[in-house]
Amino acid sequence: MTLDRAKLADMYYRMWLIRHFESRARWLFQQDLVRGSTHTYTGEEAVAVGACAALNRDDYITSTHRGHGHCLAKGGDPRRMMAELLGKATGYCKGKGGSMHIADLDLGILGANGIVGGGIAIATGAAYSAKVRGTRQVVICFFGDGAANQGVLLEAGNMAALWKLPVIYLCEENQYAEFSPSRPFFAVERLEQRALGLGMEGIPVDGNDVLAVYETVRQAVERARAGQGPSFIVAKTYRWEGHTVGDPLTYRPAGEAEQWKTPERDPIARFGKYLVEQAGFAPAELEEMNQRAEAEIEAAVQFAMDSPEPAIATLWEDVYA
């Protein structure tokens, strides 16, 4: 593992950035300032941050409806994200996409996606494209345990394995599929067994351990760049909050979430402990990063609030290139 101090600090900072972003997104939704529905990534920060830490700037990701974390982990601008949540002209999508459609093609973020599993074939195509264009780019396809039951995973995963495409299917097993526990919806014992049918090895990883995610994904990226084809990783994690903000969570056992929020399991607390005990960080440094991340998100909220609404004339813009 080759992570220098600056990189470790950056990963820790990004995890806090995500946590604070989601906290403010939830609040803005409750204030009726965010419309439609919004899906928080709280508790899953180690997956996005660990995975994206193994990528270069020009590598690609496809994201999901629960996509804020992926976008921030890949380097997305929280100000433009927050402005998009508020539907403002300065948002990533000029106010036309909202929470579920944030994309930054300059950073290789090929879009969050409102369709469960919607990014799977797109990621596979981006990997095909990288191969034809002769670049060394790789693609991480984030999807959830709910999306693992979409048929397109069989179709696209099979083609990726057939043609050794540089794509990493990264299943975030957060244990819930929309408004139901996910476990009753797959017949295999462990989700990674699905990979066998695609001609890949299924690799489980502790999705709340950012360094384990990083190392697992780094090896997959290495294989992909070496022309050895796709990987199928299942990151075991937990969705702290409901499917959407406002979800009454009637389907979740009382007390379950609390067991995932302990210092031993909370991905940020776990990483913080590692940084102090094994990487020579002072607790005060960690606290400073936490506060800096919070301030950056506050500034993003302010930027979004102060930004103008899109002009009505933009309704008809960008339907066609």
Contacting residues toward other proteins, per CB under 8 A: 60, 62, 91-97, 101, 103-106, 110-111, 113-115, 118, 120-133, 151-152, 154-156, 158-159, 162, 317-321
List, in order, residues 6 or more apart from 119 with CB less than 8 Å away: 62, 63, 64, 110, 111, 113, 141, 142, 143
Minimum CB separation of residue 47 from other proteins in Å reads 21
- CB-wise, 302 or 314, nearer to other proteins? 314
- CB-wise, 293 or 300, nearer to other proteins? 300
CA distance 277 to 288: 17
Phi-psi region of 176 (alpha: psi -120 to 50; beta: other; left: phi over 0): beta
Minimum CB separation of residue 257 from other proteins in Å reads 32
CA distance 212 to 136: 24
Beta-strand pair 60-62/139-144: parallel
Minimum CB separation of residue 106 from other proteins in Å reads 8
Angle between helices 283-306 and 267-278 (to 10 degrees): 140
Beta-strand pair 180-181/176-177: antiparallel
Minimum CB separation of residue 262 from other proteins in Å reads 39
| DSSP-derived secondary structure letter, 233 | E
- CB-wise, 111 or 207, nearer to other proteins? 111
- CB-wise, 284 or 319, nearer to other proteins? 319
Helix (H, G, I), strand (E, B) or coil at 219: helix
Minimum CB separation of residue 103 from other proteins in Å reads 4
- CB-wise, 6 or 132, nearer to other proteins? 132
List, in order, residues 6 or more apart from 145 with CB less than 8 Å away: 171, 172, 173, 174, 175, 176, 177, 182, 186, 191
- CB-wise, 133 or 277, nearer to other proteins? 133
Give the angle 173-177-178 at the CA atoms, nearest 5°: 135
Q: 194-232 as b/e, with b when 16 or more CB fall inside 10 Å?
A: bbeebebebbbbbbbbbbebbbbbbebbebbeeeebbbb
Minimum CB separation of residue 286 from other proteins in Å reads 35
Minimum CB separation of residue 209 from other proteins in Å reads 30
| DSSP-derived secondary structure letter, 56 | -
CA distance 38 to 34: 8
- CB-wise, 80 or 239, nearer to other proteins? 80
Minimum CB separation of residue 46 from other proteins in Å reads 26
- CB-wise, 101 or 223, nearer to other proteins? 101
Strand partners, 206: 236
